[in-house]
């Protein structure tokens, strides 16, 4: 993207962002949805390959936002049609089919797994916890702990293999 186009897009954003978001809000009545559609319209404009052929960028931006709004309405219609209405706005009660034996066996396996994980190195335990329970990606863990991504990968592999061995009958 040329610097001239980049500057033009920045100026367009500065001058139109608030107005476009307000127009979208007046239609969807949700600030977050209006902001998301507005952002997506600007992203699509920035990703457009040939803006040189566009005579009026503001009109093009607003048309893009309107198309995204139509897409939003269509997806909402499909989503609403697929929703099941339960009587009294509550899902049906599901019978609990667990028996005391199944619960006890599951608790024993969990205790065994926790004890097994305790035998791993503290670094391996920390990496496994961050990945599996905090949901961090391997690169994020590496940056957090100031170690290489390869070390993170190896420790996750080690922990998963250890868990698999522990849970084998």
pLDDT of residue 86 exceeding 60: no
pLDDT of residue 163 exceeding 80: yes
7 and 70 co-located in one domain:
yes
Identify the domain containing residue 132 by its residue range.
115-167
- When the pLDDT of each residue in the chain is averaged and rounded to a whole number, the result is 84
pLDDT digit string, tens, across residues 94-134: 766 667 777 788 888 888 878 888 899 999 989 998 998 88
Domain tally, the chain = 2
Confidence of residue 143 (pLDDT cuts 50, 70, 90): very high
**Last residue of some domain: 39, 58, 82?**
82
24 and 78 co-located in one domain:
yes
pLDDT at 47: 84
Q: Are 159 and 120 in contact (CB under 8 A)?
A: yes
**Who contacts 156 (Cβ-Cβ below 8 Å, separation ≥6)?**
127, 128, 131, 138
72 and 120 co-located in one domain:
no
pLDDT at 83: 66
pLDDT digit string, tens, across residues 23-33: 999 988 889 99
**Last residue of some domain: 32, 61, 82?**
82
The CATH code of the domain that includes 139 is: 1.10.10.10
pLDDT at 121: 92
Length of the chain: 169
Q: Determine, yes or no, domain membership for 87.
A: no
Ordered DSSP codes for 90-120: -PPP------HHHHHHHHHHHHHHHHHHTTS
Q: Determine, yes or no, domain membership for 104.
A: no
Confidence of residue 9 (pLDDT cuts 50, 70, 90): confident
Helix (H, G, I), strand (E, B) or coil at 58: helix
pLDDT at 91: 63
77 and 122 co-located in one domain:
no
Other beta carbons within 10 Å of 100: 7
């Amino acid at each position: 993207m040329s610097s001239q186009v980049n500057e033009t897009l920045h100026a367009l954003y500065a001058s139109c962002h608030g107005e476009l978001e307000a127009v979208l809000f007046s239609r969807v009545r949700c600030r977050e949805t209006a902001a998301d559609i507005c952002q997506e319209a600007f992203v699509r404009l920035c990703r457009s390959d040939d803006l040189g052929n566009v005579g009026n960028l503001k009109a093009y931006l607003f048309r893009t936002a309107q198309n995204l709004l139509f897409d939003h309405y269509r997806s909402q219609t499909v989503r609403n049609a697929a929703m099941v209405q339960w009587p009294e706005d509550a899902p049906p009660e599901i019978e609990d089919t667990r028996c005391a034996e199944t619960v006890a066996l599951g608790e024993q396996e969990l205790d065994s797994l926790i004890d097994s994980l305790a035998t791993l190195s503290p670094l391996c335990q920390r990496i496994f916890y961050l990945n599996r329970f905090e949901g961090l990606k391997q690169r994020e863990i590496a940056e957090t702990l100031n170690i290489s991504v390869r070390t993170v990968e190896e420790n996750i592999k080690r922990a998963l293999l250890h868990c698999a061995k522990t849970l084998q009958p």
